[in-house]
Structure 1
């Protein structure tokens, strides 16, 4: 899949203008403050909004993303010099280097295959200290969010830094055989240029999340359905927000 919002500088600008600080960021910062957490990983950091805030708060932050265009945008932001930026993915994570790892912004959904998801979780487990925390969020498939991923429900204006306006909308198709949702994002620029970005999302239910985390060496400490810490299935947010602890490795 193309994921143009992360790879095309024109779409990165649109993505950054649309994804401003929100209640989910407040939630993650509160979770971070729950414990003494000196060393933090932000995997799939995008344009760096959360990573920079964590660094400003005094944490030693490593931000990793495979897309160079979003990292370039992140490095240009105020406070970016307080973050260690790495172009890469979970395959490059150092062992036992972090006290907490964040996988936010529904990045978990972009790891579509079971092998990729398992590989990411095992790599994250190995990168954390014993009892280090993994914090992630993904959409709850029980909420059937794809039903509202159509032009009528999603078309919106996005105002860029120069004041110009891009019209954006999303269309999707549920692939029941693979359990994924194929998405096409459309962006219509003022000069008539239309760019598209394609993606596939894998929405795992609560049981699947818990099983995959346990297999990778995590213990789920908390699981919420919304940013107000509501139980799964009882929030209009339609999220599955997980805080999991890295279990100590058994000695051979």
Structure 2
């Protein structure tokens, strides 16, 4: 993961506004309930919106993220005292072998380079108890979502606590599965705060093989939050696997 992909203390407050809990959070909370998870690790937890909701009575939740800006925000929110917060990447996951559920949500898994992905999955496997569950989602490359990340398609203006904000996305480079794009944020004073992100789009077969090679079996991949089959137009690939 990049060192601090959301490193602006002013703009970080808008993250939860732009990414509210929805079907994704419902899915992960239901999964935690279904597997009876009492110990949960949320890798790439960001502002901790989902993490805090998982930290219910009798359950421990750990949120790990490389962004000190996001973690600073997360730790100031209601319920933050119920979560263990760690600034770091997947190598911060302790290989305890007693975790019930490891999550990586918000497409955060896509920020990982191939070697980083293998490490993250191996560390997750070492942390989970036998039969423990790993789950994450990733954008489906066959849907070619990045084709819509143009200034014309994403340009928007809105009122925020920072004043009127103008925003758009623009793809800078596509090289195989690797897509680099810029997020523009123009403030009322005209300053354009540009944040560059790199995402890796992996197909279902690649994800299945990589997860299996890291020590997981029963690898299931669906094309949505309700167990849909994967098709060429599926926007998401939702992965669930058990530690072998």
* TM range, smaller chain: over 0.9
Partner of 2:242: 245
- 2:204 matched to 1:203? no
Q: CA deviation at 1:188?
A: 1.1
Q: TM-score, normalised by structure 1?
A: 0.90
Q: Residues 54 and 182 of structure 1: is their aligned pair in 2 closer, same or farther, counting only changes over 3 Å? A: same
Deviation readout 1:26-66 (Å, 9 max, x if unpaired): 11111111121100000000000000010136521000011
Partner of 1:103: 104
Contact 2:215-2:243 within 8 A present in 1 as well: yes
Distance 2:136 2:5 in 1: 21
Partner of 1:250: none
Q: TM-score, normalised by structure 2?
A: 0.92
Q: CA deviation at 1:229?
A: 2.0
For structure 2, the residue ranges without an aligned partner over 5 or more in a row are none
Partner of 2:174: 175
The farther-off stretch of 39-48 and 8-17 is 8-17
Distance 1:220 1:8 in 2: 40
For structure 1, the residue ranges without an aligned partner over 5 or more in a row are 248-252
Contact 1:225-1:233 within 8 A present in 2 as well: yes
Partner of 1:212: 210
Q: Residues 32 and 2 of structure 1: is their aligned pair in 2 closer, same or farther, counting only changes over 3 Å? A: closer
Q: CA deviation at 1:216?
A: 0.4
- 2:71 matched to 1:71? yes
Q: Residues 150 and 4 of structure 1: is their aligned pair in 2 closer, same or farther, counting only changes over 3 Å? A: farther
Contact 2:4-2:68 within 8 A present in 1 as well: no
Partner of 2:165: 166
Partner of 2:47: 47
Distance 1:82 1:33 in 2: 18
Partner of 2:231: 233
Distance 2:5 2:191 in 1: 15
Partner of 2:34: 34
Q: CA deviation at 1:150?
A: 0.8
Distance 1:201 1:210 in 2: 18
Distance 2:190 2:2 in 1: 21
- After superposition, where does 1:126-137 map in structure 2 within 5 Å? 126-137=126-137
Contact 1:37-1:59 within 8 A present in 2 as well: yes
Distance 2:35 2:58 in 1: 13
Aligned residues: 243
Contact 1:71-1:85 within 8 A present in 2 as well: yes
Q: Residues 99 and 158 of structure 1: is their aligned pair in 2 closer, same or farther, counting only changes over 3 Å? A: farther
Distance 2:226 2:125 in 1: 27
